[in-house]
Copies of this chain bind each other. A is one copy, B any other.
């Protein structure tokens, strides 16, 4: 089983409207509700790939109930091991207008998690680790959770002998890296913020010296850069795929975890991660991917050894 952790899960709302005009009133013509949060997307993609995945983290309030219902309604359903909290799960609102490019996004802060709720989570997490082959820690921290939370969860995974991937940013990433995770998957900007170096391969090397055993940096439409104990590679998609890039990084995380538990060699693991990212850009939403695009792109991904 692959465990994914989403401490700040969300009810994702997508609003379609004619055109965004600041300070005007907009008639929303279509509302789409989805279960949201990076780890949720990773678990959905893993489940669709045929892996046993379990999603945990916090859910609370009516919005949390909505997320649980949406997870159960997926086909196949995503296994829900979320820990209940008193506060309400946040909403995110993405406004898609007829311009057809990026959405305008509004992210609520999330529930205030108490110390007792954090302890309930770490107890549940420790128990889930007992039957996990790998774990992914994904996304932002909700209010009330201490900034060293991911470092604590990385240490617990290492103590349990479970390979751990960390995908977050800012201070939680900095502290998490120091706890020596097996893999971090920052984007180029997060990596530059962590290390001060702008060149991805150089910054990835620096992140390894800070504690990460392996660094896979997502470079957007340019693909992935990986610096591991076994070598360094750049993996590029054949051409830019048009669509919605939201969730592409989460699909890369899913492919990297699947490749890890299957023992796939690094070049092939990266090839699958790049193809799955492209297939997610071609799908309407994060947590989904287009199987035909995956099959088409997979043999065309160029993996170059940079050692």
Give chain A's interface residues, CB within 8 Å of chain B: 13, 15, 17, 20-29, 31, 62, 65-66, 91, 93, 95, 99, 101-109
Contact = CB atoms under 8 A, between A and B. Distances in A.
Given A15-B93, A26-B104, A29-B109, 15 more contacts: A20-B22, A22-B22, A23-B99, A23-B101, A23-B103, A23-B104, A24-B104, A25-B105, A25-B107, A26-B107, A27-B107, A28-B106, A31-B109, A62-B62, A93-B106
For the complex of A and B, the 6 pairs showing the least CB-CB separation, nearest first, are: A25-B105, A23-B102, A62-B62, A28-B108, A26-B106, A20-B22
A241 to B, nearest CB: 20
Q: Report copies per complex.
A: 2
Contacts of A101: 23
Nearest to A24: B104
28 contacts: A15-B93, A15-B106, A15-B108, A20-B22, A20-B23, A21-B104, A22-B22, A23-B101, A23-B102, A23-B103, A23-B104, A24-B105, A25-B105, A26-B104, A26-B105, A26-B106, A26-B107, A27-B107, A28-B106, A28-B107, A28-B108, A28-B109, A29-B109, A31-B108, A62-B62, A62-B66, A93-B93, A95-B106
A154 to B, nearest CB: 25
Nearest to A62: B62
Contacts of A108: 15, 28, 31
A110 to B, nearest CB: 10
Contacts of A91: 13
A102 B95 CA distance: 18
A28 to B, nearest CB: 5
Contacts of A107: 25-28
A187 to B, nearest CB: 13
Contacts of A24: 104-105
A72 to B, nearest CB: 15
Contacts of A21: 104
A106 B29 contact: no
B27 A109 contact: yes
Nearest to A17: B106
A228 to B, nearest CB: 31
Contacts of A22: 20, 22, 104
Nearest to A23: B102
Contacts of A99: 23
A216 B253 CA distance: 61
A37 to B, nearest CB: 15
A222 to B, nearest CB: 21
Contacts of A105: 24-26
Nearest to A11: B62
Contacts of A23: 20, 99, 101-104
A240 B260 CA distance: 66
Contacts of A102: 23
Contacts of A25: 105, 107
